[in-house]
Amino acid sequence: EEHLVESGGGLVQPGESLRLSCAGSGFTFSSYEMNWVRQAPGKGLEWVSYISSSGTTVYYADSVKGRFTISRDNAGNSMSLLMNSLRADDTAVYYCARELIAGALDCWGQGTLVTVSS
Amino acid sequence: AIQMTQSPSSLSASVGDRVTITCRASQGIRNDLGWYQQKPGKAPKLLIYAASSLHSGAPSRFSGSGFGTDFTLTISSLQPEDFATYYCLQDNSYPWTFGQGTKVELK
């Protein structure tokens, strides 16, 4: 069965950094483009970042550009999101999601909560 | 960035009702749109991709239509397990953008 599992969330202070990880299993991780999506408490979904299957192409939401870095390790079947200069409005559940060929997100992890607060 | 305007923000319906949710894009996105269902405390689930293609495992009572700027998700006969929040997502150009969501509640 295909699975994605996020880890690395927690409580950090404003200005600090955090690295999230996403581990894939049950499918050929290196064949898929991947994304991060977040959801602030009680709010809607927000797309955060994309990485191509090879890792050579990345995109970011304007709200995180310059602060977040997406990367992947295909040999280790994992993806990461390095989050620097965290702000209170980065508080959210962060989901990793696999992208179908058609561009839709067909497999999601359970999410990991990031709380930015002093 | 492309803006997605989803309506209504919430609706009340009964089991067996036909339900329609719409999304409008601020510019043409061909058929590069998906629909997702999310229940409280859970990750979203893909229902429809490429505007009208039913994702494997999604019930056939869900259907999608539209092209360009106007899109619709229809639930032909609402079931108890369909009470949830629904989102559209444009994947035409980066940054991808979600609609604000539609919460479907029991009347």
**pLDDT tens for each residue of B45-101:** 999 999 999 999 999 999 999 999 999 999 999 999 999 999 999 999 999 999 999
DSSP collapsed to 3 states, chain B: CCCEEEECCEEEECCCCCEEEEEEECCCCCCCEEEEEECCCCCCEEEEECCCEECCCCCCCEEEEEECCEEEEEECCCCHHHCCEEEEEECCCCCCEECCCEEEEEC
In sequence order, the 6+-apart residues with CB closer than 8 A to the CB of A108 are A4, A37, A95, A96, A97, A98, B43, B44, B45
- Nearest beta carbon to residue B46 from set A50, A60, A105: A105
**Which of A65, A100, A110 should we substitute to test contact with B (largest number of B Cβ atoms within 10 Å)?**
A100
Q: Contact at 8 Å (CB) between B7 and B21?
A: yes
Note whether B62 contacts A: Cβ–Cβ < 8 A.
no
CB contact under 8 A, A45 and B89: yes
Note whether A94 contacts B: Cβ–Cβ < 8 A.
no
CB contact under 8 A, A108 and B91: no
Distance from CA of B80 to the nearest CA of A (A): 22
Query: pLDDT band for position B38 (50/70/90)?
Result: very high
Query: pLDDT band for position A27 (50/70/90)?
Result: very high
CB contact under 8 A, B44 and A95: yes
Query: pLDDT band for position A101 (50/70/90)?
Result: confident
Residue A100: predicted pLDDT: 86
- Nearest beta carbon to residue A95 from set B43, B87, B101: B43
pLDDT of A103 > 90? The answer is no
**Selected residues 32-61 of chain A with any CB under 8 Å from a CB in chain B:** 35, 37, 44-47, 50, 59-61
Residue A29, phi then psi, degrees to nearest 5: -55, -40
Note whether B1 contacts A: Cβ–Cβ < 8 A.
yes
Least confident of A86-95, A100-109, B95-104: A100-109
- Nearest beta carbon to residue B95 from set A62, A100, A105: A62
- Nearest beta carbon to residue B91 from set A45, A60, A103: A103
pLDDT of A102 > 80? The answer is no
